[in-house]
C-alpha cells in the first residue's frame, strides 16, 4: 500500500501538515494565517469545549460575550499590555466608507474591554468575586502561521475575574490551573502536562504572574497548552475597577485572566499521532467506536446496525459505515487517519461465526468478539487505551528529559528534548543566552514538581526546551 503520510522520523513538520490534510481536520483559509476547521476537526473541538466548559462552570464562572472590536485607547491604558501586543494587532481605521474617529482593534485578548465593564458592574465587596468566561475568536497577526499552532485568527476561551483580595485572586488562578486545565489535559487529552511558573521574561503582558501547562510533542519540542495569569491590580487601576470594602473604604480589585485555545488540537495531533494518523483519546473522541460493514451479505447491514444501536444505548459515541460501494481498505485507512479508538468490523464470515472483529487504533491489534459481548469488550478497551495513551506520552517525556548543570548543556539537550537545570545556574543572563539559541525557559518548578509561589524561591528548577 502506498504511503499515506510522511513518516514522523523523516520530516515531522511535513507529517503534521499531511495528517491535518489527510484526516480532513482543517484547511488553510483564503487570507494568509487563517484556517478553516473541517467537520472532523470541529467535532473534536466541540468535545474539548464541552469538557472544558463543564469544568469552568464548576468553579463558579459564568459565560458571557464581549465585542470583537475594542477602542484602541482601551489598550493604551495599560502600557505593558499594549507594548506586548502591538506587533500582533490588527487595527481597523475605516468603516462604512469613512475613516473612523478612533481606530478600533480586533481583539487579541479581552482584558481591556472586560475591565471597562467590570468597572461598571462592580460597586461593593458584595459584587465580588466576579467570575466571567467567554468562548470567542481572537486575532493576532502571525508572521509564521501554522494550522492550529499559530494562526492569525484562532478560537479560545478566555476567563476574566475580579476579587477583593490578592489571596483570593491567586487561589482562583490556581484553581483554574489545576482543577480545570490540568484535570482536563491529563484525564481527557491524556497529555502529561508540566505545570509551572513562567519567568518574568516569559510572563503575559501586564500580568504580575503567569502559570503555564507545557506538553512535550512527538519531536521533543514543548507546546504551551494553557496559561493562567494573576494580573495584580494593574488592570484594576487602569480601568478603575474599585469596590466599597466592608470596612467602608474604597479599594481596587485584584484580577485574573486565563485561557486555552485551538492550539490544543495541534498538541493532540503532535503528542499522540503516529505514522498512520491521529490517535484520539477515548474520553475525547467524538466517535469512540466505529462500526464498519466489510461487504454486503445476508443480514450483515442489519446486524451491524443493531450493534451500533447497542453501543449507543450503552452511552458509547458511535460511528457507522455501510458504504460497501467504497473499497473496505480505503475506508479502514480513513478510520485510522481520523483516529477512532475502536473499529468493529462486520462481514459475512464474521456474522456466520456470530462475531465482529474488534480493532484497536492504539496498537492496530485485531481480535474476534462475540457480537453479544461486544459492548463490554469495547468499554474495557476504551478505558484501557485511555490510560495507555497517557502512559506512552509520559514515558516519552521522561525518556527525553535530562538533568544538566549549565545553560550550555541545556541548549545542547534541547536539540532532542527537555532539560532540567537549576534556576540559580540560569538567571536572567542565562535565559537571554538560551533565547539567542532558540531555546526558552518553559517554566520554573520546585524540585518535587510543584508550582512555586515566587521565582526567588531557593532550589527552583528551570525546564528549558525548543517550543512551538
| Angstrom distances, CA of residue 310 to CA of 224, 294, 305, 345 | 40, 19, 9, 15
Crossing angle for the helix pair 374-399 and 300-313, nearest 10 degrees?
Answer: 70
Distance CA 407, CA 200 (A): 18
Please calculate the CA angle 337-342-346 and round it to the nearest 5 degrees: 100
Distance CA 214, CA 194 (A): 5
- The three grid cell numbers given for residue 148, joined into one nine-digit string: 492550529
- The three grid cell numbers given for residue 349, joined into one nine-digit string: 464470515
Query: What pLDDT score does 32 carry?
Result: 92
| Angstrom distances, CA of residue 22 to CA of 3, 275, 311, 420 | 12, 12, 28, 37
- Sign of the Cα pseudo-torsion (377, 380, 386, 390, in order): negative
Return the domain boundaries, the chain.
12-272, 289-381, 416-465
Query: What pLDDT score does 2 carry?
Result: 54
Same fold for the pair 12-272 and 289-381: no
Please calculate the CA angle 417-419-423 and round it to the nearest 5 degrees: 155
List the chain pLDDT tens, one digit each, 468 residues: 457 899 999 999 999 999 999 999 999 999 999 999 999 999 999 999 999 999 999 999 999 999 999 999 998 887 777 677 888 899 999 999 999 999 999 999 999 999 999 999 999 999 999 999 999 999 999 889 999 999 999 999 999 999 999 999 999 999 999 999 999 999 999 999 999 999 999 999 889 999 999 999 999 999 999 999 999 999 999 999 999 999 999 999 999 999 999 999 999 999 999 999 999 999 999 999 999 999 988 999 999 999 999 999 999 999 999 999 999 999 999 999 999 999 999 999 999 999 999 999 999 999 999 999 999 999 999 999 999 999 999 999 999 999 999 999 999 999 999 999 999 999 999 999 999 999 999 999 999 999 999 999 999 999 999 999
Which H, E and C letters describe 167-231, residue by residue? HHHHHHHHHHHHHHHHHHHHHCCCCCCEEEECCHHHCCCCCCEEEEEEEECCCCCEEEEEEEEEC
Q: Domain 289-381: what homologous superfamily?
A: Anticodon-binding domain (3.40.50.800)
- The three grid cell numbers given for residue 186, joined into one nine-digit string: 491529563
The CATH architecture of the domain made up of 12-272 is 2-Layer Sandwich (3.30)
Amino acid at each position: 500500500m502506498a504511503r499515506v503520510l510522511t513518516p514522523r522520523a523523516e520530516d515531522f513538520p511535513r507529517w503534521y501538515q499531511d495528517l491535518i490534510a489527510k484526516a480532513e481536520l482543517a484547511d488553510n483559509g483564503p487570507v494568509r494565517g487563517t484556517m478553516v476547521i473541517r467537520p472532523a476537526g470541529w467535532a473534536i473541538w466541540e468535545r474539548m469545549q464541552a469538557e472544558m466548559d463543564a469544568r469552568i462552570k464548576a468553579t463558579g464562572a459564568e459565560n458571557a460575550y464581549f465585542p470583537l472590536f475594542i477602542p484602541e485607547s482601551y489598550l493604551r491604558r495599560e502600557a505593558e499590555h499594549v507594548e506586548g501586543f502591538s506587533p500582533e494587532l490588527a487595527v481597523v481605521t475605516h468603516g462604512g466608507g469613512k475613516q473612523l474617529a478612533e481606530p478600533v482593534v480586533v481583539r487579541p485578548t479581552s482584558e481591556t474591554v472586560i475591565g471597562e465593564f467590570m468597572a461598571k458592574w462592580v460597586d461593593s465587596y458584595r459584587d465580588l468575586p466576579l467570575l466571567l468566561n467567554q468562548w470567542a475568536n481572537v486575532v493576532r497577526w502571525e508572521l509564521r502561521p501554522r494550522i492550529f499552532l499559530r494562526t492569525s485568527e484562532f478560537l479560545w476561551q478566555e476567563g476574566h475575574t475580579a476579587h477583593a483580595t490578592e489571596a483570593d485572586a491567586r487561589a482562583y488562578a490556581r484553581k483554574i490551573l489545576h482543577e480545570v486545565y490540568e484535570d482536563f489535559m491529563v484525564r481527557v487529552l491524556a497529555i502529561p502536562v508540566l505545570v509551572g511558573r513562567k519567568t518574568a521574561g516569559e510572563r503575559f503582558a501586564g500580568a504580575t504572574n503567569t502559570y503555564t501547562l507545557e506538553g512535550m510533542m512527538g519531536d521533543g519540542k514543548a507546546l504551551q497548552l494553557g496559561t493562567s495569569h494573576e494580573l495584580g491590580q494593574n488592570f484594576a487601576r487602569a480601568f478603575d475597577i474599585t469596590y466599597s470594602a466592608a470596612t467602608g473604604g474604597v479599594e481596587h480589585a485584584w484580577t485574573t485572566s486565563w485561557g486555552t485555545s485551538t492550539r490544543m488540537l495541534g498538541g493532540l495531533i503532535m503528542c499522540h499521532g503516529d505514522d498512520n494518523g491521529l490517535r484520539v483519546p477515548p474520553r475525547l473522541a467524538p466517535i469512540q467506536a466505529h462500526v464498519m460493514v466489510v461487504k454486503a451479505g445476508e443480514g450483515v447491514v442489519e446486524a451491524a446496525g443493531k450493534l451500533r444501536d447497542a453501543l449507543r444505548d450503552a452511552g458509547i459515541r458511535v460511528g457507522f459505515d455501510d458504504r460497501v460501494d467504497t473499497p473496505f481498505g480505503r475506508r479502514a485507512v480513513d478510520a485510522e487517519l481520523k483516529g477512532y479508538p475502536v473499529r468493529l468490523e462486520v462481514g459475512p464470515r464474521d456474522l456466520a461465526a456470530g462475531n465482529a472483529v474488534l480493532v484497536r487504533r492504539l496498537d492496530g491489534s485485531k481480535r474476534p468478539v462475540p457480537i453479544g459481548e461486544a459492548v463490554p469488550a469495547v468499554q474495557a478497551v476504551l478505558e484501557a487505551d485511555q490510560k495507555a495513551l497517557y502512559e506512552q506520552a509520559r514515558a516519552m517525556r521522561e525518556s527525553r528529559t535530562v538533568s544538566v548543570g549549565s545553560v550550555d548543556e541545556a541548549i545542547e539537550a534541547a536539540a532532542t528534548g527537555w532539560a532540567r537545570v537549576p534556576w540559580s545556574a540560569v538567571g536572567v543572563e542565562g535565559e537571554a543566552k538560551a533565547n539567542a539559541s532558540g531555546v526558552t525557559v518553559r517554566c520554573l518548578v520546585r524540585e518535587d514538581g510543584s508550582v512555586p509561589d515566587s521565582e526567588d524561591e531557593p532550589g527552583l528548577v528551570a525546564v528549558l526546551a525548543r517550543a512551538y
